[in-house]
Structure 1
Amino acid sequence: MSATPTGVRSRPTAPVPTDLAQPVVDVRSDATRIGAADWDALVEPPGFYNSRPWTRALEQTHGATPVLAATAAGQLVGVLPTWENTQPAGLFSLDEMTRGLLAPREQALLWLGTRRSTVNTITCVREPGLRRRTLTALLETARRLAAGQGRSGIVWPYLTRDAAREIASCHPLAQEVLHAADAIVDVPADGMEGLEAAARSKSRIQWRREQRLFREAGGSVEWVPLSSEICEKIGPLLARTRDRYGSPGGTAWMRRTLAGQMSSGVARNAVVALTRTGSDLSAAAVFYRHQDWIYGRYWGTSDSAPPYAYYTLTFYAAVDWAAAHGCRFLHLSVPASPAKTARGARLSPLSLVVLPTGPRQEIAEQALTRHNDRMAAELTARNSPVSPAWPSCSNSGEA
């Protein structure tokens, strides 16, 4: 017999509110398996390099890697790309990143975040309860994925200190390791005029001198969109600088990378600063805009470039462009060199989160605390000013 009286319709089950739902995580083969609008709705203002178009551009250049997608009540609530570190050197060498605290076994770990990105953010819903459950579910799924691949753990690098601690608090075996610092410029509404007004006299004189010498040598700055034609022209310049600092691939790699950005649509976020010497293109800097942030990504120059072209294009002109277009932050990325802080950038600490697939933490707590305190002291002493996030960088958990 039916439990529903004759002539009376049963009421449909009310959907579970999203903020109360339990996230379910599945592994997608690539970024195209997740809707662009749903993904990018979760991306925070500093999260450009974790956006779907940027991730897709990397896939088109280097090949697809699994992406974790968390859903709750039928809605996307979290995204986490994964990748395999097959070139463990420099900025992606665990031994170098952690001063030997973590053994050099990069290929034994599954890496989280965007491929070879020195900026990672949390791509999740904002509601605190659901956000925490989503992060926990993403970490557990990443652990299982790593274990299934025969790996000993997972590592999520280049996170802000606050993000790393938030992630680490979501799993009892997760640990936060301070390993680098970002260089960020707070852009005044009036651009360089505002920065100069707030700077010390010595700095102000230096900045103005560098800009003057650039102009006196015939230097000027032209801003253009990143088009296919511009990609062809700037590719050799950008590759030349990469080659100088030991990055492989040459012009073919650079052009393939930019072509991937054109194809994914992320080039729509790009703007390029150009300098010409006579009729020849002698310097170029590529930036990407996301909400009120602008990110400096690529730089290239020839021997004929005017003096101080690097600082003019990547900093002085960029600050004015950012101010004119409503951007509040200019991201100069790692390494957070004294040259960047000498021109008004502040430092923001970057941490990685490491989590084993087994039952034991990777690092002894006392050793981790000593490392984090030592790193904070060294970076603070070497660079000034620093962001408010620097106090209490130890693993003590204090705010």
Structure 2
Amino acid sequence: MTVERVPSLDDIAGGAWDDVADPRDMFQSRAWLRALEQSGEAPVTYLIARRPGHPRILGALPLYDSLPSRGDFLYWPELHFQDLLHAAGPPGGRLGLLAGSRAGFSTRLIVDRALPAATRTEVLRALRDAACAVAVERGLPYTFFLFLDASAWRDLAPVAGGGDHHRLASVAQTELELPGADFEDYLATLPRNTRTSVRREVGLFTRTCATETVPLREAVTTVAPMIVNVRAKHGMAYSVDAVTRRLAAYSSALGDAAATALLCRVRGRVVGAGVLCRWHDRLYVTDFGRLDDDGAPDPFVYFNATIYEPVKHAYAMGLSSVVTGAGAELGKARRGSAVLPLMHVAWAAAGDRPDRRIDTAPAETRRKHWSELRSAHPRYFHPVWDELL
């Protein structure tokens, strides 16, 4: 196995990348990663694994420098591994390398799925070793793989070393498979009481709000501050610049037809918005924004902008599922979404110091939280939770 460092996707043939990337995963696509690269949000190095003398890519790993000032909570490692970073004391505020596509939630591995399991492990071990070498060269203590889905963690677990750390994320992925052919078929799958509540929420929303779907490119300056407002109310640091860059990357990667903003207006004023990205047969709800005005009417704008209206759009476009994202997991689960676990992994670049004390309380608190939630609402949680809890 050889692992090459490549500074840009321009140096990788599109066909070679498409052969290894999962075609159903927007965040593995060359279009998304290329747009993110062009946005200049963070310097990137791509690790490409091949057999010597063969052009086919067996696995790939984007690596980004992580800085604490970026203000994007999704990829802010100190929120997820504060104990490790406090003990490591990274120089100059540099936190480590981020592995993956810096995309949203549910990160999946870019590895040839046609390979036997043992060979996939060989590929991932080679990529892991190469990532650790890059971290050592840059004087960084860790490589972080954030928001791995259960399948990715299952593949990655055999290459985890003795100095690695893994823990459940504090948020979970939610996805809604669309039954039948229209919104009524979706409603029919919900329990009677929930179905009655949803009809009420949809009815109040449609009586108060008018909706408009526009190309995301046209709404970035309107939507970005609203997204920042929502995150700030939940105590999450975010910057308008970081959101603007990410929304621009969506628009650049997908085009006007597939990257859209759902604007919710009350008396002509935009009070809420959802960001919708279509990729193959899936619709991603990547962001939600709300007007920074406590006096603005709120006729169930959140669930209409992030679930009901996206479900209607997905049916109209003949799609199979809606990725409803992370956060508000129980509210989304009651409305039909499956709750799927996510994992964080920290790869130690040069081994942990044996005398260092790591506070395990945050990780145990998260595990307890999910265990209690799953016990109280077992039907909302996918069986894959069993292997993690």
**Cα distance change on mapping 1:191 and 1:213 into 2, 3 Å:** same
Q: Aligned match of 2:45 in 56, 66, 85?
A: 66
Q: Aligned match of 2:211 in 195, 198, 221?
A: 221
Query: Matches of 1:216 and 1:272 in 2, distance apart?
Result: 20
- State how 1:110-149 maps to structure 2 within 5 Å: 110-115=97-102, 117-129=104-116, 130-149=119-138
C-alpha displacement of 1:315: 0.5
**Cα distance change on mapping 1:351 and 1:234 into 2, 3 Å:** closer
* TM-score normalised over the length of structure 1: 0.79
Residues 2-45 of structure 1, C-alpha deviation per residue, up to 9 Å, x if partnerless? xxxxxxxxxxxxxxxxxxxxx32111123333233432342325
**Cα distance change on mapping 1:27 and 1:374 into 2, 3 Å:** same
In structure 1, what residue type is equivalent to 2:159?
Answer: C
Query: Matches of 1:283 and 1:149 in 2, distance apart?
Result: 42
Is 1:273 the counterpart of 2:251? The answer is: no
In structure 2, what residue type is equivalent to 1:58?
Answer: L
Unaligned runs of 5+ in 1: 1-22, 395-399
Equivalent residue pairs, number:
367
**Cα distance change on mapping 1:375 and 1:79 into 2, 3 Å:** farther
Correspondence for 1:36? 14
Correspondence for 2:27? 49
Correspondence for 2:184? 193
C-alpha displacement of 1:156: 1.0
Residues 237-284 of structure 1, C-alpha deviation per residue, up to 9 Å, x if partnerless? 44554555554433x554444334444456553133223334444432
Please give the secondary structure, in 1, of the residue aligned with 2:306: helix
Query: Matches of 2:78 and 2:87 in 1, distance apart?
Result: 5
- State how 1:143-292 maps to structure 2 within 5 Å: 143-173=132-162, 176-180=166-170, 181-217=172-208, 219-226=209-216, 228-242=217-231, 244-245=233-234, 246-250=236-240, 254-265=243-254, 269-292=258-281
Correspondence for 2:66? 85
In structure 1, what residue type is equivalent to 2:381?
Answer: V
Q: Which is worse superposed, 264-273 or 179-188?
A: 264-273
Correspondence for 1:397? none
C-alpha displacement of 1:213: 0.8
8 Å contact from structure 1 (residues 31, 52) kept in 2 = yes
C-alpha displacement of 1:355: 2.4
Is 1:378 the counterpart of 2:372? The answer is: yes
**Cα distance change on mapping 1:278 and 1:37 into 2, 3 Å:** farther
**Cα distance change on mapping 1:317 and 1:336 into 2, 3 Å:** same
In structure 1, what residue type is equivalent to 2:304?
Answer: T
- Give identity over the alignment, percent: 24
8 Å contact from structure 2 (residues 180, 186) kept in 1 = no
Unaligned runs of 5+ in 2: none
In structure 2, what residue type is equivalent to 1:80?
Answer: L
RMSD between aligned residues: 3.4
Query: Matches of 1:391 and 1:35 in 2, distance apart?
Result: 40
Please give the secondary structure, in 1, of the residue aligned with 2:310: helix
**Cα distance change on mapping 1:101 and 1:184 into 2, 3 Å:** farther
Is 1:313 the counterpart of 2:297? The answer is: no
Correspondence for 1:389? 384
In structure 2, what residue type is equivalent to 1:347?
Answer: V
Q: Which is worse superposed, 345-354 or 275-284?
A: 275-284
In structure 2, what residue type is equivalent to 1:137?
Answer: A
* TM-score normalised over the length of structure 2: 0.80
Q: Aligned match of 1:332 in 324, 345, 354?
A: 324
**Cα distance change on mapping 1:267 and 1:253 into 2, 3 Å:** farther
